[in-house]
Amino acid sequence: MSDNKENKTKNFVLRIDSNTMNEIEKWAADEFRSVNGQILYLLDQALKKSGRLPKKHN
């Protein structure tokens, strides 16, 4: 089994106000994602937009 950094995840506690959380929950449901999946998607998009995460080549 290889020790590939790309396949590792890290867990952490996120404190978020209830109004923001409610909106993320609605948004996630609208896009058929879990709340965790929605937050990861948003972070990924923000990192790509800022040029901090390389775009994947197909």
Phi then psi for residue 51, to 5 deg, are 80, 15
At position 6, the amino acid (one-letter code) is E
Q: What is the pLDDT of residues 5-45, one digit of tens each?
A: 567 889 999 999 999 999 999 999 999 999 999 999 999 99
pTM of the model: 0.75
Q: Write the burial class of residue 27 (CB in 10 Å: 0-12 exposed, 13-18 middle, 19+ buried).
A: middle
Packing angle of the helix pair 35-49, 18-30 (nearest 10 deg): 90
* Average pLDDT score over residue span 45-49: 93
SS3 for 57? Answer: coil
Confidence band, pLDDT 50/70/90 cuts, at residue 53:
confident
DSSP assignment string, 11-23: -------HHHHHH
